[in-house]
């Protein structure tokens, strides 16, 4: 099968598109990634150049969304960056356990669902009968459909502590052989929603903890500041904001204070 080349001018078009829609800044080094993620789609649509595909996006809103989905999906897995979940476990056993009202956590870039379901397992494990919920949002409609299904290859279960795996996951049989699913008892308390962090946010209420990991590395400084301002308006006083170990809010926001590397707290009112 002949490879379709992505030239520099075409790459600039897609780089501008993804920055306009999602606030993501792609360096020149990401050109092979763009070509790889979109190349298969070109062939599916019977196109012979990335320029033709870009023009197609201007005419078809559904294809525009598919392209955005392909360019914004990131790798994830259960209990990724485990120190964050150790910290959450400590909060659930202490400070957050005594807060009044339902406990609410937002997974701000949930991808295929591993992060919010990890959070849900810990909430179920440590809060007993206390009400809680997880909002899981992403820009990609395609990846949200995967997340809602809550079904994963068995090899992904290796990252889940055995006691949680046995309590909150179900092994697939028959046509689901080789897969496992999240127990519906906790899955129904994870609410998935398409939200673009680069635009005005919907009224999603207030949260005790917000996770936004491995997202801001793709934003420039101005976009980071605007995204943080929007999100922190939804973080309760005394709430926690968690980013990836490879990220920092230094120079981005002084509305939260660092308490551990990659973990921030909003001061009490």
CA distance 20 to 94: 42
Q: Which residues of 178-202 are buried (b: 16+ CB within 10 A; e: fewer)?
A: ebbbbbeebbebbebeebbbbeebe
Q: Does the active-site annotation cover 8?
A: no
**Residue 12 tokens, joined:** 């600039």
Q: Does the active-site annotation cover 203?
A: no
Task: Please state the φ and ψ torsions of residue 65, each to the nearest 5 degrees.
Answer: -65, -40
Which residues does 204 contact at the CB level (< 8 Å), separation at least 6? 106, 135, 193, 195, 234
* H-helix segments, the chain: 8-22, 31-44, 50-59, 61-72, 82-93, 114-127, 141-149, 162-168, 184-187, 221-232
Catalytic residue, chosen from 15, 138, 208, 213, is 138
Burial class (CB in 10 A: 0-12, 13-18, 19+), 32: exposed
Which residues are marked as active site?
Answer: 37, 138
């Amino acid at each position: 099968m002949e490879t379709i080349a992505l030239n520099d001018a075409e790459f600039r078009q897609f780089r501008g598109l993804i920055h306009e829609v999602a606030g993501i800044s792609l360096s020149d080094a990401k050109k092979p990634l763009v070509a790889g993620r979109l190349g298969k789609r070109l062939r599916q649509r019977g196109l012979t150049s990335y320029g033709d595909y870009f023009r197609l996006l201007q005419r078809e809103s559904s294809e525009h969304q598919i392209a955005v989905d392909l360019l914004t999906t990131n790798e994830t897995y259960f209990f990724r960056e485990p120190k964050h979940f150790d910290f959450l476990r400590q909060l659930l056993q202490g400070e957050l356990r005594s807060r009044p009202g339902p406990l609410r956590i937002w997974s701000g870039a949930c991808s295929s669902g591993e992060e919010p379901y990890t959070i849900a397992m810990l909430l179920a494990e440590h809060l007993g009968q206390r009400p809680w919920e997880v909002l899981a949002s992403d820009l990609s409609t395609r990846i949200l459909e995967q997340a809602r299904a809550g079904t994963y290859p068995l090899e992904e279960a290796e990252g889940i502590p055995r006691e949680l795996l046995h309590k909150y996951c179900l092994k697939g049989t028959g046509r689901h052989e080789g897969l496992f699913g999240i127990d519906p008892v906790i899955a129904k308390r994870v609410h998935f929603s398409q939200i673009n962090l680069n635009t005005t946010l919907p009224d999603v209420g207030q949260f005790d903890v917000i996770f936004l990991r491995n997202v801001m590395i793709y934003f420039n400084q101005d976009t980071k500041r605007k995204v943080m301002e929007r999100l922190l308006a939804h973080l309760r006083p005394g709430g926690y904001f968690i980013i990836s170990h490879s990220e920092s809010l230094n120079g981005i926001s002084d509305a939260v204070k660092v308490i551990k590397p990659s973990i921030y707290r909003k001061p009490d009112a």
